[in-house]
Amino acid sequence: MTDFRLVYFSENRIQAGMLNTEIETLLEASRRNNALVVISGALMFNDGYFAQVLEGSQAAIESTFERIQRDHRHGNVHMLEFAPASTRSFQTWSMAFIGHPDRMSAEVSTIAARSGFDPRNLDGDHLFNRLKDLLHERE
C-alpha cells in the first residue's frame, strides 16, 4: 500500500512557562503512538506555531490526525497537504523535533533562527522541504 504524507501548521496554545513540560509530554506520546502504527515524521515549533509532517498509511494518519486536531495545546489547525507519497523522508524518526531555543542545542537554534521559519507563508510542499532541509542540516 502506498504511504501518505500529511502536512499542517497550527497556533500554539501552551502558556510560555509550560512549554518545555508540555512539548516533552506530547513528544513522548507521539513517539510511542507513532511507532505502534508505523508513522514517521517531524514536528517543528517556532514563534508560536507548530508545523508537522506525518508519513504512513492513510488509515494510521487519519486516526492520528483526528486526535491531534482535538488537542487543546494548539488551535487553528491548517492542513496544507494530504496525498500519496512514494517515499518517506523521515523514516528513522517516529517524531523528529526541531524546536524552541530553550529546548535545543545552540547549533539547532542557529539553524531555526536562520531559516526565518513562518509557516503561514509556506505551502505544504515548501513546509515539507523546509523541515527536511533543517533536519538534514542538523545531522
Ligand X SMILES: Cc1cc2nc3c(=O)[nH]c(=O)nc-3n(C[C@H](O)[C@H](O)[C@H](O)COP(=O)(O)O)c2cc1C
Residue 30 or 46: the one with the smaller Cβ distance to ligand X is 30
List of E strands, 57-112: 74-85, 96-98
Give the nearest distance from C-beta 98 to ligand X in angstroms.
12
The C-alpha cell at 112 is 531555526
Distance in angstroms (rounded) separating the CA atoms of residues 19 and 88? 29
* Closest distance to ligand X from the beta carbon of 89 (Å): 15
Binding mask 5-44 for ligand X (x = CB under 6 A): ---------------------x--xx--xx--------x-
The piece of 64-72, 97-105, 114-122, 126-134 that touches ligand X (CB under 6 A) is 64-72
Pairing of strands 49-56, 96-98: unpaired
Residue type, 15: Q
Our CA angle for 44, 47, 53, nearest 5°, is: 20
State the residues that interact with ligand X by CB under 6 A: 26, 29-30, 33-34, 43, 50, 52, 64, 67-68, 71, 73-74, 95
